[in-house]
């Protein structure tokens, strides 16, 4: 068994400040649309009005911070408490469209009184004890990538609130024989993978937020990743987990399985910070793949592509990753990111030879050793060809893999231009997938009757992705032109009602805030800003 801490200079002693405060990710990454993509955007959405930032960081008026008790300083040390405007702004919301719209418009009506950064689990315990005694609300904060209001500083009945930044909890302990690893909650996805790679291992959890989301966030949100078909959702990867709450600590058994129930692990995973703080989780890992092969296919239709995915999800040949985009998303993706010039004409000619003038893009990925990849690929290829899909080659698949985390950056570009993009994700049974797909399209068309006729596939994926033989996980991006409210501020939808969940056992832990769609919520329970969109490009993943 090996132990250690994954250390990045300048990260563990202060809150992270390496991302855009007003948008997503690396400030140096700013994708631009070429003339052809801009033409398609104007054709589908209309002319956009640029949406600049109202002010720069440091020029905003934040709510006055309430003083914190001396006992809290004694618990963690003055060097672990941060109350600068920048740190308060960065910890005031997540990265959903509504969050970024408020930041872009300079709306900071709520912010934590301070950011507290415990150095270890013992310091975290002391913080919770003080906050419980003093009546201070606590909002756990990981990577700040929540898109459902999970880190909003909602005080409720409490006059004081802190954001509990877990970035310093970065221990790594690997049990090579059992193929498990205890990972600190503050590790970002790439940091956890880098630490495991030193042992020749991988966790295999790659959501689109992978670059900035944390292990604690994966656990608290019951995260699903792009490769969950092969590696499993995060809840399936967790062997045991620890929870620190104001009332005390809870740690589930490290044994992989038990016949006793109920499973307390299931209570903690996905609790979204409502029950306490997750300082670490023990997860199942596996040898890092020797072979990675990504390739593109073109299905005849969305229905045909979905049937291919269903057959693979319910059979023996499910790839590590498979996603199908519907016709609208495929058309939009090729218009925005497809090959240009001679390569574009050659690509069009190739599709013509394969009798594909339309269709739906399918991305298939295989990871593992040479033997397992060859075996599973053979099964997948047979199912794809029997389903009428045409092979596009590894160039298409490698292009997707290279840009798999770029969607949120493109959202920033579109927001600056005056557009809005948001994604909904849900799950449904295979037998009702067509009903779901049609219902989402109908709901958005009703909301934007003047623009829905143009159709728009969106800047991010919407795919059926398999997660279980009985279900699929569709996601739908909904792009539109943002509009101004009567006050002059940007608005892309009627004001959303905000509500916070109530912590069942402690009045001092502020839980996640849920953003409720203002006009429509599908009866199968999906949550999204569907009322803001003007169309519904679709993609599916099997059962996440």
Task: Determine the structural domain holding residue 483 and report its residue range.
Answer: 409-540
Tell me the C-alpha distance between 21 and 421, whole Å.
18
pLDDT of residue 328: 80
Tell me the C-alpha distance between 27 and 20, whole Å.
5
**Helix/strand/coil for 300:** coil
Q: Count CB-CB contacts under 10 A for residue 502.
A: 10
Write the CATH number for 184: 3.30.465.10
**Do residue 263 and residue 303 come from a single domain?**
no
**Do residue 339 and residue 391 come from a single domain?**
yes
Evaluate whether residue 442 is within a structural domain: yes
Evaluate whether residue 446 is within a structural domain: yes
pLDDT above 70: percentage of residues in the chain: 76
**Do residue 382 and residue 455 come from a single domain?**
no
Sequence-ordered strand ranges (E) for 383-474? 390-393, 419-425, 428-429, 466-468, 471-472
**Do residue 301 and residue 323 come from a single domain?**
yes
Q: Does residue 280 have a pLDDT over 70? A: yes
Per-residue model confidence as pLDDT tens digits over 237-278: 999 999 999 999 999 988 877 788 888 999 999 999 999 999
Evaluate whether residue 454 is within a structural domain: yes
pLDDT above 90: percentage of residues in the chain: 55
pLDDT band at 213 (very low <50, low <70, confident <90, very high): very high
Joined together, the tokens standing for residue 261 give 């129930």
How does DSSP classify residue 509? Answer: B
Mean pLDDT of 461-474: 55
pLDDT of residue 460: 31
Could you tell me the pTM of the whole model? 0.83
Evaluate whether residue 161 is within a structural domain: no
Least confident of 205-209, 262-266, 347-351, 494-498: 494-498
Mean pLDDT of the chain: 81
Q: Does residue 349 have a pLDDT over 70? A: no
DSSP bridge pairs for 164: 116, 140
How does DSSP classify residue 519? Answer: S
**Do residue 441 and residue 510 come from a single domain?**
yes
Least confident of 20-34, 37-51, 374-388, 480-494: 480-494
288 or 350, which is more confident: 288
**Do residue 417 and residue 473 come from a single domain?**
yes
Evaluate whether residue 153 is within a structural domain: no
Last residue of a domain, one of 402, 424, 453: 402
Q: Count CB-CB contacts under 10 A for residue 420.
A: 28
**Do residue 396 and residue 415 come from a single domain?**
no
pLDDT of residue 344: 55
Write the CATH number for 445: 3.30.300
Tell me the C-alpha distance between 136 and 274, whole Å.
15
Please state the domain count of the chain: 3
Q: Does residue 480 have a pLDDT over 70? A: no
Q: Helices 407-417 and 97-104 sit at what angle, rounded to 10 degrees?
A: 40
pLDDT of residue 442: 84
Query: Can you give the C-alpha Rg of the chain in angstroms?
Result: 23
**Helix/strand/coil for 385:** helix
Q: Does residue 314 have a pLDDT over 90? A: yes
Q: Does residue 83 have a pLDDT over 90? A: yes
How does DSSP classify residue 487? Answer: T
Mean pLDDT of 87-96: 95
216 or 451, which is more confident: 216
Least confident of 137-151, 176-190, 349-363, 455-469: 455-469
DSSP bridge pairs for 466: 472
Tell me the C-alpha distance between 315 and 327, whole Å.
26
pLDDT band at 475 (very low <50, low <70, confident <90, very high): low
179 or 518, which is more confident: 179
pLDDT band at 310 (very low <50, low <70, confident <90, very high): very high
Q: Does residue 368 have a pLDDT over 50? A: yes
Q: Does residue 340 have a pLDDT over 60? A: no
pLDDT band at 431 (very low <50, low <70, confident <90, very high): very high
Write the CATH number for 393: 3.30.70.3450
Tell me the C-alpha distance between 423 and 533, whole Å.
9
pLDDT of residue 343: 56
Last residue of a domain, one of 287, 319, 343: 287
pLDDT of residue 158: 95
Per-residue model confidence as pLDDT tens digits over 103-136: 988 888 899 999 999 999 999 999 999 999 999 9
481 or 178, which is more confident: 178
């Amino acid at each position: 068994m090996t132990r250690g801490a994954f250390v990045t200079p300048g990260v563990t002693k202060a809150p992270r400040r390496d991302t855009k405060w007003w948008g997503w990710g690396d400030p140096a990454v700013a994708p631009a649309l070429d003339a052809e993509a801009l033409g398609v955007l104007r054709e589908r959405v209309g002319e956009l009005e640029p949406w600049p930032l109202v002010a720069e960081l440091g020029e905003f008026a934040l709510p006055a911070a309430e003083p914190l008790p001396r006992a809290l300083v004694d618990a963690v040390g003055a060097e672990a408490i941060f109350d600068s405007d920048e740190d308060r702004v960065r910890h005031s919301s997540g990265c959903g469209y509504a969050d970024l719209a408020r930041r872009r418009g300079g709306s900071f009506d709520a912010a934590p009184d301070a950011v507290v950064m415990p150095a270890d689990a013992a310091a975290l315990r002391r913080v919770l004890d003080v906050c419980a005694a003093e009546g201070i609300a606590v909002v756990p904060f990981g990577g700040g990538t929540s898109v459902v209001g999970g880190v909003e500083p909602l005080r409720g009945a409490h006059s004081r609130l802190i954001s509990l930044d877990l970035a310093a909890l970065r221990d790594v302990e690997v049990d090579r024989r059992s193929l498990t690893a205890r990972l600190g909650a503050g590790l970002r996805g790439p940091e956890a993978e880098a630490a495991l790679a030193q042992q020749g291992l991988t966790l295999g959890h790659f959501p689109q937020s992978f670059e900035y989301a944390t292990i604690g966030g994966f656990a608290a949100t019951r995260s699903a990743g792009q490769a969950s078909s092969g590696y499993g959702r995060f809840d399936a990867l967790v062997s045991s987990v620890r929870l620190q709450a104001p009332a005390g600590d809870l740690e589930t058994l490290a044994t992989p399985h038990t016949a006793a129930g109920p499973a307390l692990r299931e209570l903690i995973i996905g609790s979204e910070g409502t029950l306490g703080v997750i300082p670490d989780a023990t997860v199942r890992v596996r040898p890092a793949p020797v072979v990675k092969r990504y390739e593109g296919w073109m299905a005849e239709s969305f229905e045909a592509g979905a049937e291919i995915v269903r057959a693979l999800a319910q059979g023996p040949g499910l790839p590590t990753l498979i996603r199908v985009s519907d016709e609208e998303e495929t058309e939009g993706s090729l218009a925005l990111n497809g090959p240009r010039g001679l390569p574009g004409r050659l690509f069009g000619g190739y599709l013509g030879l394969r009798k594909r003038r339309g269709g739906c893009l399918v991305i298939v990925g295989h990871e593992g050793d040479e033997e397992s990849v060859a075996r599973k690929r053979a099964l997948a290829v047979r199912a794809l060809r029997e389903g009428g899909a045409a092979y596009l080659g590894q160039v298409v698949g490698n292009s997707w893999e290279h840009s798999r985390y770029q969607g949120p950056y493109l959202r920033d570009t579109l927001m600056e231009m005056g557009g809005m993009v948001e994604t909904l994700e849900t799950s449904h049974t295979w037998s009702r997938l067509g009903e779901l797909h049609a219902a989402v399209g109908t709901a958005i068309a009703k909301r934007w009757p003047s623009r829905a006729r143009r159709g728009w596939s969106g800047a991010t994926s919407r795919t059926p992705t398999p997660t279980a033989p009985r279900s699929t996980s569709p996601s739908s991006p909904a792009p539109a032109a943002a509009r101004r409210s009567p006050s002059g501020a940007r608005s892309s939808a009627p004001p959303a009602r905000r509500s916070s969940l109530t912590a069942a056992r402690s009045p001092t832990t502020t839980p996640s805030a849920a953003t409720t769609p203002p006009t429509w919520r599908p009866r199968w329970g999906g949550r999204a800003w569907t009322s803001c969109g003007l169309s519904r490009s679709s993609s599916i993943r099997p059962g996440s």
